[in-house]
């Protein structure tokens, strides 16, 4: 049964947030303004972050990790950048009132 985290008392919500992994905390903070405020109230301290920029043939990737142990890094998130998109198969669609679309 799901529980609405934002409807719980603040002390309980902060306690739950402090037990989450760093990746879960990051994803929770991006959900809404209220969940971001809850994460800020938990005052989670991150020991060390690393930011890496990786180059591949088709795309570039920006990776964020947190240091968990001496030789262990925990994945938080990554963003992929595609320098040139292949827009040949993309069509613009204009919705009309009779629920049909004309692509040009």
More confident call, 35 vs 86:
35
Residues with Cβ within 8 Å of residue 92, at least 6 apart in sequence: 103, 104
Give the pLDDT confidence of 15-70 residue by residue, as tens digits: 999 999 888 888 899 899 999 999 999 998 877 877 777 777 767 788 888 887 78
Residue 77 within any structural domain of the chain: yes
More confident call, 80 vs 30:
30
Tell me, yes or no, whether 1 and 41 share the same domain.
yes
Collapsing DSSP to helix, strand or coil, 53 comes out as strand
Tell me, yes or no, whether 1 and 35 share the same domain.
yes
Residue 100 within any structural domain of the chain: no
Residue 104 within any structural domain of the chain: no
Residue in 66, 43, 62, 44 with CA at minimum distance from that of residue 53? 62
Residue 56 within any structural domain of the chain: yes
Tell me, yes or no, whether 1 and 25 share the same domain.
yes
Domain range for 77: 46-84
Alpha helices in the chain (DSSP H): 10-18, 22-29, 33-42
Tally of domains in the chain:
2
Q: Is the pLDDT of residue 82 over 80?
A: no
Collapsing DSSP to helix, strand or coil, 94 comes out as strand
């Amino acid at each position: 049964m799901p529980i609405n985290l934002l409807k719980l008392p603040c002390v309980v919500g902060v306690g739950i947030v402090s037990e989450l992994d760093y990746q879960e905390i990051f994803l929770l903070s991006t959900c809404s303004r209220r969940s971001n405020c809850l994460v800020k109230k938990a005052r989670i301290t991150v020991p060390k972050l690393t930011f890496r920029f990786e180059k591949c043939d088709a795309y570039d990737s920006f990776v964020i990790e947190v240091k968990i142990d001496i030789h262990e890094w925990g994945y938080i998130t990554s963003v992929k950048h595609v320098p040139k998109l292949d827009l040949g198969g993309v069509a613009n669609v204009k919705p009309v009132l009779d629920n049909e679309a004309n692509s040009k």
